[in-house]
Amino acid sequence: MIKRISFLVFLVFTIVMVFPGYGSACTNMIVTSAASTDGSVMVTYTCDGEFLPHLRHIPAADYEQDEFIEIKDWHGNIRGRIKQVPHTYAFTNLMNEHQLVIGETTFTGREELRNGDALLQYWQLMSITLQRAKNAREAIGVIAELVKEYGYASTGESFSIGDMHEAWLMEIIGTGPGGEGAVWVARRIPDGYICAHANKSRIGEFPLDAPENCLYSDNVIDFAVKKGYYDPESEEPFNFSKAYCPVTPQKLRYTATRVWSIFRRCAPSKGWSADYHRGIKGAKPYPLWIKPDKKLSLKDVIGIMRDHYEGTEYDMTKGVDAGPFGTPNRWRPITWNIDGVDYTWERPISTQQTGFSYVSQSRSWLPDPVGGVLWYGVDDSYYTCYVPLYCGITDVPEYYARGSMNKFSTDSAWWVFNFVANFSNLRYSPMREDIQAVQKELEGRLISLQAAVDMTAKELFKEDAGLMASYLTDYSGTHAAMVVERWKELGKYLICKYNDGYTQTKEGRPMETGYPESWLRDVLKQRSEQFKLESWDKDSVETQMPY
């Protein structure tokens, strides 16, 4: 008897996360082992979109020869099926039991190459690959085989793929309606370097004869020639990004600014020019990878994912658009038109429209269940608190596995963090200090505990792998719950301290703090006469106030 596995049950690291369109505005950073202070391979991922994620752990499993996976659409209709493999690996969110981690950003590219009749979307590729591959190079092979056999249905996608030794960037796009397979290229990030991508294809020219460092589909150049995207007689070297993801000024502003900001923070000595992300004609694209001025710690990388271009001329906490209290958030739509002129807000790395984000660590000197860690957070990366999820856990913290966008609940971690982040928009600059104090305390404690937890888990692994799994599951769950409870208290504290426009003193008294002078001056430029108090003769007017 043929057995079937419904993909909508089989997949779910989170059902909501993968709804089409929600993963189309993300940011990734890749840090190789020799570029990190402790030798970790790190990948970051902000999965941006207005959605509530459900964290999931999918256990390893064994299957019979005649089993397969049913691929269904969002209405439950079966679109096709995939032959199952004999054994699948466990994974939590986007890291599996072998420390393999995958992130993504959608670069869209040439929309005419989307093949809606193909079977697999990019999020399905990520999930299936985590269950079938032990390392980054295997993951590229799994993705390539899957799209070759079943087709690729999404638009252009960039995948960050890391394991405990290597990190790769793989970019893929379809072959159009009725087409077969996909077009793709993958490059290994040299050890000691970092890479970043943000909704724009980043792989340009690539070597055709270096399989240790570069892999690609057989049709990657021929298909571009066939479609007229590349002329081999031009004598110009083939460039994947130019062929499959041509730029526009708006796209550069939306994507390359984030890459520039990551590079300027990691290698300030290079004096990175803003010309390319501002769309200046003739400006050179940023390199695919760079060597940072110094090795990056986990704390450094988390900080980079909280960037709003602070300290640059694009600082989103400055200017009249930031309001009186310097909020970096800009409400959608990100582009608008007034009097026939198009405008756009800046798009930062950290945005309020984030479902979840992570910073991963894959560490070769530790057993897999201990070496792989996802530092996981929900909602805005600037105002979240990252909690460690070891890849050896067998269950996820309950707070992170529940909730609905349609109903506020303090039983959902996403709503708890979302409430604090949204409330802070009322008076961003003063509230930020209170929030970051708690964030620094909690994350600092968890990072400080990591070495002791690693050591304990490593010793348990030698004696009893089951006991080690219970220990890590309990540690991750207990501390995640502690963080959420602390954030609930933070929300209550902020409501009391910043009530009705006052700031409560330590003695519990309301204090008038008003507005910053810089913002008041901006107001007076527009409406000074309305708010101006004229001098007057007190004896000529009635001084008695009516009641």
379: region left, alpha or beta (phi > 0 left; psi from -120 to 50 alpha): left
277 with 253: CB under 8 angstroms?
yes
Q: Which domain holds residue 111?
A: 3-323
Name the token pair of 481.
């719950």
Pair 283, 420 in one domain:
no
Answer yes or no: is 365 within a domain. Answer: no
In degrees to the nearest 10, what's the CA dihedral of 40, 41, 47, 48?
80
Residues 78 and 183 in one domain: yes
Phi, psi for 136 (deg, rounded to 5):
-65, -40
Tokens, residue 297: 């710690």
Task: Give the 3-state secondary structure of residue 337.
Answer: strand
427 and 317, same domain (yes or no): no
**What pLDDT is recorded for position 277?**
97
In which element (H, E) is residue 454 found?
helix 428-463
Task: Note whether residue 364 is domain-resident.
Answer: no
Task: Please indicate, yes or no, whether residues 318 and 444 belong to a single structural domain of this protein.
Answer: no
Amino acid letter, residue 399: Y
Q: How far is CA 484 from the centre of its chain?
A: 20
Q: CA-CA distance, 305 to 365, in Å (whole number)? A: 26
457 and 317 part of one domain: no
360 inside domain: no
Domain boundary at 278, 299, 323, which?
323
Name which of 440, 254, 228 is nearest 335 in CA terms.
254
Same domain flag for 312 and 448:
no
pLDDT of residue 202: 98
62 within some domain? yes
| Confidence at residue 75, expressed as pLDDT on a 0 to 100 scale | 87
- In the block, tokens 């509530």 appear at 52
Residue 7: per-residue pLDDT = 44
Are 308 and 197 part of one and the same domain?
A: yes
Indicate the number of domains in the chain.
Answer: 2
Classify burial at 362, counting beta carbons within 10 Å of its beta carbon; exposed 0-12, middle 13-18, buried 19 or more.
Answer: buried
Residue 335 Cα distances to 153, 250, 315, 518, angstroms: 27, 9, 18, 26
Q: Is residue 528 in a domain? A: no
3-state secondary structure of 351: coil
Give residue 540's pLDDT.
61
Q: Which of 504, 520, 536 is the last residue of a domain?
A: 504
pTM: 0.94
Q: Does 377 fall in a domain?
A: no
**The dihedral sign for the CA sequence 77, 80, 85, 89:** negative
Among 286, 305, 323, identify where a domain stops. 323
Q: Label residue 464 exposed, middle or buried (CB < 10 Å: 0-12, 13-18, 19+).
A: exposed
- Give the residues of the chain that fall short of pLDDT 70: 1-24, 536-547
Q: Please report whether residue 403 resides in a domain.
A: no
Flag whether 517 is in a domain.
no
